[in-house]
Structure 1
């Protein structure tokens, strides 16, 4: 009896200590936890109103003359004939910074190799790199000279006269849709991607070919963000002031790292952008606002990545479309992801069971990187 009482007291003491530790952490972190949880709950409950009514469009509408200020920068490098007289399945715009020469070359040698895509996959995909001016003024002329040589060698740079900075990403989005409207409106699909994104070109092409045969319209696919709240912390990179955006929730949108729209949607987004205030510098959110104005809704695709890298495994490669955060390993990933042994790895009952088990272990555990959802393990 004495021993039991001692054990009970010891257990109670440990429980009290544990509870005190938890309460201490909550007291220290409560402001951040409370703000994060409450803002997301409020935002998601507000989501239906944002996506169903046009008050955002009305609040951000401007005259065509004012809207033109955001997208009328002169071209410094351009090649208007990239798509001329070609049956383009996909126009792939890569958002690149002027100094990222190696990333662009890696892309041209791997998933953005137009000759490979034409010869091996039998379709026309045009890859274009979109950028502004180097923001570092002392080295701007040196970089521009190097870019001129690159443009003369490859003919795939499109550059406008605005500073290439984070807060000008929406200008880059306007550049993509304006250039497409003027020079490649007949492309069946348009894709926008960052230059640190890996794209499994064969999987993407086969997927788009199937959609093209179905004559799909109103298509906008990617990694969806639903009911995301504006960040009001002034020290955040994604800070959004009430003056710029007064609502508690953003419209649904896809991650700007990589998404695809059909040609008709590209035309609608361009037209919508001609009457909206593009000072909204978070480009993927602005895309969502344009889409609401155009009556277009995003769709989730489980093999489009968010902000994080996808796990490295043949069972993942077999169906992957995009993976984000690849600055130095694009050539390696291209080699292993397109290796012959990847094809059909999940064929047959045993193959399906094996890959499902592997993907459950890789994708269904708690993690903080925004890659594929657990749902991808079962598709």
Structure 2
């Protein structure tokens, strides 16, 4: 089985597509469940709101699959007509189809929105400090990290799970560990020169149901010579631990803490970070690579 074009056919695409990519600093594709309307609205008010990201401009696109509930389907169509920011695939919107959703996203970007400066993939429960990312990381790193590179929290020689949520049968993958690095897929940065090749390889190699391992492990290993840049773990820029994020913010404050992306544990935590960074914090101005906090 493969994640072929038949399986990742796009049934609904954004109406405005990508007509103004030259003005965009990044395109964000978001993995979201079909019924997560509130989370998508939170993302729109946060990352599609230029007041929260200026001087950086982002385009936000949500990736979903088909639903069997007719009422939910009608709501999704209305949502897309209102916001024009949804790409819907021809597969069912289930956990087991996340690999198809991932390949579909790269298919859409490579065919419709290929002329971009940067691609960011996020899950819909991630909080992302856009300004800190650009001013302290992306605008400072060397050119070698901006070509054929994936920036993420990645693991090397990770053990293959034989129990639990990510159980992999030995008949499907016999190795005791994965012979390639792969990303924790909640937050991944991909340089644009990789998008088309990742889509082409993703639709042609043998399907693997764990999307992080497949798209951000097996696919780059097949392409070869893809550079993985660590931004998680000891680098402390991206984290899956909301506790670590909060402790860092408490000890060092927003300016001193190095984290700029965190996997939250739900809508309450996302709202808490939104309030801290946007609704309640002092105004922030960005000049070049310097972030200036203006006291109020």
TM-score under structure 2 length normalisation: 0.82
Mapping 1:128-139, distance limit 5 Å: 128-134=61-67, 137=68
Aligned counterpart, 2:261: 322
Unaligned runs of 5+ in 2: 287-296
CA contact (8 A) 1:71 1:175 kept: no
Of 259, 275, 282 in structure 2, the residue corresponding to residue 340 of structure 1 is: 282
CA contact (8 A) 1:151 1:157 kept: yes
Unaligned runs of 5+ in 1: 1-65, 345-379
Once the two structures are superposed, what CA deviation does each residue of 1:27-72 show, in whole Å capped at 9, x if it has no partner? Answer: xxxxxxxxxxxxxxxxxxxxxxxxxxxxxxxxxxxxxxx6463664
Aligned counterpart, 2:138: 208
Once the two structures are superposed, what CA deviation does each residue of 1:121-143 show, in whole Å capped at 9, x if it has no partner? Answer: 1x331110001123xx4xx1101
Aligned counterpart, 1:103: 39
Establish whether residue 274 from structure 1 lines up as the match of residue 203 from structure 2. Answer: yes
Structure 1 pair 225–178 and aligned structure 2 pair: CA distance change class (3 A): same
Once the two structures are superposed, what CA deviation does each residue of 1:106-158 show, in whole Å capped at 9, x if it has no partner? Answer: 11111x1243367x21x331110001123xx4xx1101111111111100011
Aligned counterpart, 1:113: 48
Distance (whole Å) between structure 2 residues aligned to residue 83 and residue 259 of structure 1: 21
RMSD (Å) for aligned C-alpha atoms? 2.5
Of 182, 186, 190 in structure 2, the residue corresponding to residue 253 of structure 1 is: 182
Q: Which moved more, 1:161-170 or 1:317-326?
A: 317-326
Structure 1 pair 307–298 and aligned structure 2 pair: CA distance change class (3 A): farther
Of 90, 109, 128 in structure 2, the residue corresponding to residue 161 of structure 1 is: 90
Mapping 1:144-223, distance limit 5 Å: 144-206=73-135, 207-211=137-141, 216-223=146-153
Distance (whole Å) between structure 2 residues aligned to residue 197 and residue 155 of structure 1: 21
Matched residue of 1:323: which SS? strand
Q: Which moved more, 1:242-251 or 1:286-295?
A: 242-251
Please state how far the C-alpha of 1:74 moved relative to its aligned partner: 3.1
CA contact (8 A) 1:309 1:326 kept: no
Please state how far the C-alpha of 1:331 moved relative to its aligned partner: 3.0
CA contact (8 A) 2:30 2:60 kept: yes
Structure 1 stretches (4+) deviating beyond 6 angstroms?
212-215, 341-344
Please state how far the C-alpha of 1:274 moved relative to its aligned partner: 3.3
TM-score under structure 1 length normalisation: 0.65
Please state how far the C-alpha of 1:224 moved relative to its aligned partner: 1.5
CA contact (8 A) 1:310 1:324 kept: no
The structure with the larger Rg is 1
Aligned counterpart, 2:292: none
Distance (whole Å) between structure 1 residues aligned to residue 99 and residue 205 of structure 2: 12
Aligned counterpart, 2:228: 298
Establish whether residue 127 from structure 1 lines up as the match of residue 56 from structure 2. Answer: no
How many residue pairs match? The answer is 269
Structure with greater strand percent: 2
Mapping 1:229-268, distance limit 5 Å: 229-233=159-163, 236-250=164-178, 251-268=180-197
Distance (whole Å) between structure 2 residues aligned to residue 310 and residue 232 of structure 1: 28
Structure 1 pair 69–106 and aligned structure 2 pair: CA distance change class (3 A): same
Matched residue of 2:127: which SS? strand
CA contact (8 A) 1:189 1:263 kept: yes
Distance (whole Å) between structure 2 residues aligned to residue 208 and residue 298 of structure 1: 15
Aligned counterpart, 1:348: none
Distance (whole Å) between structure 2 residues aligned to residue 316 and residue 305 of structure 1: 16
CA contact (8 A) 2:8 2:103 kept: no
